[in-house]
Structure 1
Amino acid sequence: MGHLVYSSVGGAERDSGVAHFESKATIEAHIQRLGVPATVLRPVFFMTNRLFLANISDSGERVLSMPLDSATPVQMISANGIGFFAATALDAPQEFIGEQIEIIGNELSLQQVAEAFQRVTGTPTRYEAAPLEGRTRMFEWFEEGGYQADIRPSAACTRRCGQSRNSCSASPDRSRSGTRCAAVVYRCASQV
């Protein structure tokens, strides 16, 4: 195998206690033991998950609901963003083999997500916290700090934007496992 790009989950390396995160950490460890040339992408919360958390009320208002406080920041990424990072790693294996990169598209509070839904769709939207009792470990983990991808641009990243996604590239910031660089590259691609 020339180069494996594995999509794990943000926080897999941090003993989260979230079962499906822990299973991804086990797979990461197995890949490392095999010695396969690999890049591990650790995407944060999928933006598309929001589609399942938004219901339209009888009055026509959209209500977003999760068992989290409305001010809790949640880091998110789109499926397109994950695909972009995977393609970037596959196109430049010499830059990404051996990297574990927590990837992010945006970080918003749940109230900000509701406001964005309303702004984009024109449908009145509000956030309503679901009951905290009985929530899963994952939502507790979000409140404890959750994902920790660094979305700020880094001077250590090299960025070139041209007319297409293929012309955007980056050199990973080794001091931060490439996370900052990945955010910059994605922003670069989304502006093209």
Structure 2
Amino acid sequence: MDKPLILVTGATGNQGGAVVDAMLEHPDQWQVRALTRDPSSAAARALTARGVDVVAGDMADEDSMRRALRGASGVFGVQNSRTAGLKGEVRQGTTLVDAARDAGVEHFVYASVGGAERVRGIPHFDTKWEIEQHLRASGLPATVLRPTTFMDVFTMRGASVGLGMMAAALGPHKPLQMIAVRDIGVFARLAFEHPDTYAGQNLELAGDQLTVPRIAATLKAAGRPGRYARLPKVLLRAMGKEARMLFWFGESGYDADIPALREQHPGLLTLMHWLTRTDRLEAA
């Protein structure tokens, strides 16, 4: 019997790449097809070398998606408003959903964002909520993954400024939930492995929750810079709509059930474990 074919969008990016990695941990179970705009890129060629079927495609183009979906039993969908724009993100997401429905896909796993169903006025949350609603209306068996803050943001260039903004919005005592991108991939794989359990579920994903001072202390303990200066809230307000997310973190914020998630995925990473993983350090 042929192995099920899973189409992974965004396969050369963070979340899609994590899904590919998770699926390839069990190569006997799956065929993995990676969608990319440029199959000649170094990242795409690296996927091909790992045995992934890399195909060119544009999520906003219906014909392109029909070709990419041929033979696929499952789809992992993720879009990026930073590259596509807000309207472009919605167009990509809804076009992919419609093409998957028409192709008879058996399970659609969509990467949204934590809190998308609870808060309005954050532009990149609103777009994902719109795609979620379109997916729900399509009738496709689906699992929605709603990641919280990526742990990666604490090691990126300019992380000290980001911590300062979070300190302004959260204060010293309110924790922020976060997730290792690797674990998003694991939950996507679990959804494909156990469709009867995960179809219809909306999972907010986090592996740790720490106050800003604890985040800084954890970074320092792992040999990373943990410096930050708490910024005045007036500077956040000057950011306009982009600051809405930060203020929401302080008002209510993410609400993942971390103990329940760890029961499903015992290897769920804390920030310290993510920072000190041997395989991550070797790949850096």
Alignment-mate amino acid for residue 73 of structure 1: P
Give 2:178's aligned residue. 76
Distance apart, 1:79 and its partner CA: 0.7
Larger Rg: 2
1:187 counterpart SS class = coil
Note the 1:15-164 alignment, pairs <5 A: 15-52=119-156, 53-55=158-160, 64-66=163-165, 67-68=168-169, 69-121=171-223, 125-135=226-236, 136-151=243-258, 153=259
Question: Using the alignment, how far apart are the partners of 1:144 and 1:91 within structure 2?
Answer: 36
Deviations, residues 4-50 of structure 1 (Å, cap 9, x unaligned) = 10010110111332111111111000000111110001111111112
1:41 counterpart SS class = strand
Question: Using the alignment, how far apart are the partners of 1:183 and 1:131 within structure 2?
Answer: 36
Question: Using the alignment, how far apart are the partners of 1:183 and 1:22 within structure 2?
Answer: 28
2:262 counterpart SS class = helix
Question: Using the alignment, how far apart are the partners of 2:136 and 2:267 within structure 1?
Answer: 31
Q: Contact between 2:160 and 2:229, CA under 8 Å: does it hold in 1? A: no
Q: Contact between 2:205 and 2:256, CA under 8 Å: does it hold in 1? A: yes
Give 1:157's aligned residue. none
Richer in helix (by share): 2
Question: RCO greater where, 1 or 2, for CA within 8 Å and sep 6 or more?
Answer: 1
2:110 counterpart SS class = strand
Deviations, residues 108-147 of structure 1 (Å, cap 9, x unaligned) = 00100100011011x5633422231142100110010100
Please, which runs of 5 or more residues in structure 2 have no aligned partner?
1-104, 237-242, 274-284
Please, which runs of 5 or more residues in structure 1 have no aligned partner?
57-62, 154-179
Question: Using the alignment, how far apart are the partners of 2:147 and 2:188 within structure 1?
Answer: 11
Alignment-mate amino acid for residue 203 of structure 2: I
Alignment-mate amino acid for residue 132 of structure 1: K
